[in-house]
A and B are shown apart, each in its own frame.
Chain A
């Protein structure tokens, strides 16, 4: 463009080119994000060094120097000599090898462990089926009823030739899954009703819902669990006794319900008024309007906080530990009370953490996927 002689400028059309190589690719990304200037380079190097040191020593501890099994005497007492020598240098996964069935199933009769194991698979299967949009039809409710019944039959037994196992002997992962699944399965519909009730035009219903949410939210879950386990039986008539697990379950449902109700209400409030009016103008009744127009949109808006609350409550079920219900965490804690295994808590807690993480991470991944899928082909 050095010798423009004419009065008009001609803009030659330029073909689209791919971006210069030094602007794309991993090298360019690293240069822009990690080594942009001297101090970002310094931070990158320092953090990189710390990370690698940590990773190397963790691999050493968890894998290379780890002890996977120890000899067990005929009386069933483990000889943990080797583990004690390796303490601090190598992990003692032998505690998991030896104790995993106790951690997973608690004091459930050893020979019947296939039953809680099957229950865990049934739960996971139920989650997977429920997660698939293909199955989001009313028949899904039937599947839930059927599977939950089967789970009850398997756990209790006493029918179909299964030996009866009292609830006091249940423990471990099935308890955690029962508390979490029943908890959220009942808390969620309750939350929807309460959220709708808080926006009701009937003052009595509205007041009741506000009272419920504020009362429950104002109290820690632990004290609610204590109340359920200690105080509640005092008010029951003589001779009547409600199962301890059931009482804890109800406490969790009520607690989760109050929190979820606020999440759902946020979604209801975020919907433009025009959606309600359009549904009214078409003559839809309150419940049809709510079920077909309002909730599908409101719930979609609050998937992230909803899943956040779900994940929180999945982990909070471990609080039943303090009222002596044998959930996964309690089982893990109890496993290392035995003298020969004392001092190997880290290994057990890592294993427990991994189990919780798998469930929570699955929920989180699923919700992210669901959000993208539901927003596909739609801008708004």
Chain B
């Protein structure tokens, strides 16, 4: 990581939380994947979630935009409680953008079409306006010249930056990242992290599942460590990484430090 100093925090603690989870439980069949998860994320807060594979990190953030349904507890996003009501689902999906580990760009559409699809069809934006918006975000992630190519013609790092631009085109209030750099070759990780840092500087509320400790130290207001479906520890990145309180976090940190 090049940027050593942390970003100025833009957390607005006085405002109601952007995301609030109370006593959330989820099972896959008999498998208890989220156990009594309580979490409040303030507007503008940047949260990094880490933890061993299979600990429920993906499930946690997928519950926040209801790609998964939770069975117990309450999840409130931007003042809207998640329920089976389709209208609330629509509202949530407009407010929350998501970036996946495997990019999930639409391969049959050009980069520009990938970005304008949702604004046109969900936000009912005129095509021309949507294209201008898309070009603006593609410029921000520094790939405007690829607009008319297809995803398959781009490198992994470029595809992930398009995926970020695509999510941003919906003007979400909250962005979720599920291991956005895990599928990338090492030389491409930095370009994606830089894009995410740039996004953090704009004051976006972000939850990132990532094991990039440098990124967590630079950007995160708070790091959450999950293990076996529970939030085991949470705190500021410096204190959490430097003074892990639990043995589970110590083991985890020593493992990923060895890995890097």
Contacts of B153 in A (CB 8 A): 377-379
With A293-B106, A300-B108 known as contacts, the answer to whether A280 contacts B150 (CB < 8 A) is no
Q: Encode A325-362 as 1/0 by CB contact (under 8 A) with B.
A: 00000000000000000000000000000000000000
Chain A 364-380 residues near chain B, CB threshold 8 A? 374, 377-380
With A274-B102, A292-B117 known as contacts, the answer to whether A283 contacts B122 (CB < 8 A) is yes
Q: Is the CB of B97 within 8 A of A281?
A: yes
Nearest chain A CB to B164's CB is how many angstroms away? 13
Q: Encode B97-111 as 1/0 by CB contact (under 8 A) with A.
A: 110101011111000
Cross-chain contact of A274 among B65, B97, B104, B121 (Cβ < 8 A): B104
Q: B170 contacts the other chain (Cβ, under 8 Å)? A: yes
Contacts of A297 in B (CB 8 A): 106-108
Contacts of A288 in B (CB 8 A): 121-122
Nearest chain A CB to B149's CB is how many angstroms away? 8
Contacts of B142 in A (CB 8 A): none
Cross-chain contact of B118 among A277, A282, A296, A379 (Cβ < 8 A): A282
Contacts of A278 in B (CB 8 A): 98, 100, 104-106
A278 vs B118: C-alpha distance when bound (angstroms):
11
With A281-B65, A281-B93, A281-B98 known as contacts, the answer to whether A378 contacts B152 (CB < 8 A) is yes
Nearest chain A CB to B114's CB is how many angstroms away? 9
Q: A284 contacts the other chain (Cβ, under 8 Å)? A: yes
A335 vs B100: C-alpha distance when bound (angstroms):
66
Q: Is the CB of B150 within 8 A of A378?
A: yes
**SS class, residues of chain A in contact with chain B:** helix
Chain B 52-78 residues near chain A, CB threshold 8 A? 65, 67
Q: B94 contacts the other chain (Cβ, under 8 Å)? A: yes
Nearest chain A CB to B154's CB is how many angstroms away? 11
Instruction: Give the most central of A274, A277, A281, A288: most B CB within 10 Å.
Output: A281
Contacts of B107 in A (CB 8 A): 297, 378, 380
Q: Is the CB of B117 within 8 A of A282?
A: yes
Q: B166 contacts the other chain (Cβ, under 8 Å)? A: yes
With A292-B117, A378-B152, A380-B152 known as contacts, the answer to whether A277 contacts B122 (CB < 8 A) is no
With A378-B152, A380-B152 known as contacts, the answer to whether A283 contacts B93 (CB < 8 A) is yes
Q: Is the CB of B106 within 8 A of A284?
A: no
Cross-chain contact of A283 among B94, B106, B150 (Cβ < 8 A): B94
Q: Is the CB of A283 within 8 A of B90?
A: yes
Chain A 272-294 residues near chain B, CB threshold 8 A? 272, 274-275, 277-285, 288, 292-293
Chain B 77-98 residues near chain A, CB threshold 8 A? 90, 93-94, 96-98
A275 vs B67: C-alpha distance when bound (angstroms):
12
Nearest chain A CB to B221's CB is how many angstroms away? 24
Nearest opposing residue in chain A for B101, CB measure: A274
The size class of the interface chain A forms with chain B is 20 to 34
A380 vs B106: C-alpha distance when bound (angstroms):
11
Contacts of A296 in B (CB 8 A): 108
Contacts of B117 in A (CB 8 A): 282, 284, 292-293
Contacts of B102 in A (CB 8 A): 272, 274
Cross-chain contact of B93 among A280, A293, A374 (Cβ < 8 A): A280
A277 vs B23: C-alpha distance when bound (angstroms):
25
Nearest chain A CB to B212's CB is how many angstroms away? 21
Q: Is the CB of B152 within 8 A of A284?
A: no
Nearest opposing residue in chain A for B107, CB measure: A380
Nearest opposing residue in chain A for B123, CB measure: A283
Chain B 144-159 residues near chain A, CB threshold 8 A? 149-150, 152-153
Contacts of B121 in A (CB 8 A): 284, 288, 292
Cross-chain contact of B67 among A277, A284, A374 (Cβ < 8 A): A277
Cross-chain contact of B152 among A285, A292, A379 (Cβ < 8 A): A379
Contacts of B118 in A (CB 8 A): 282-284
With A292-B117, A377-B153 known as contacts, the answer to whether A282 contacts B67 (CB < 8 A) is no
Q: Is the CB of B108 within 8 A of A282?
A: no
Contacts of A379 in B (CB 8 A): 152-153
Q: Is the CB of A281 within 8 A of B67?
A: yes
Contacts of B170 in A (CB 8 A): 282-283
Contacts of A377 in B (CB 8 A): 149-150, 153
25 contacts between A and B (CB under 8 A): A274-B102, A275-B104, A275-B106, A277-B67, A277-B104, A278-B100, A280-B93, A281-B97, A281-B98, A281-B167, A282-B117, A282-B166, A283-B93, A284-B121, A284-B122, A285-B122, A288-B122, A292-B121, A293-B106, A293-B117, A297-B107, A377-B153, A378-B152, A378-B153, A380-B107
Seed contacts A279-B106, A292-B121; 19 additional CB < 8 Å A-B pairs:
A272-B102, A272-B104, A274-B100, A278-B104, A280-B93, A281-B98, A281-B100, A282-B118, A282-B166, A283-B90, A283-B93, A283-B122, A285-B90, A288-B122, A297-B107, A377-B153, A378-B150, A379-B152, A380-B107
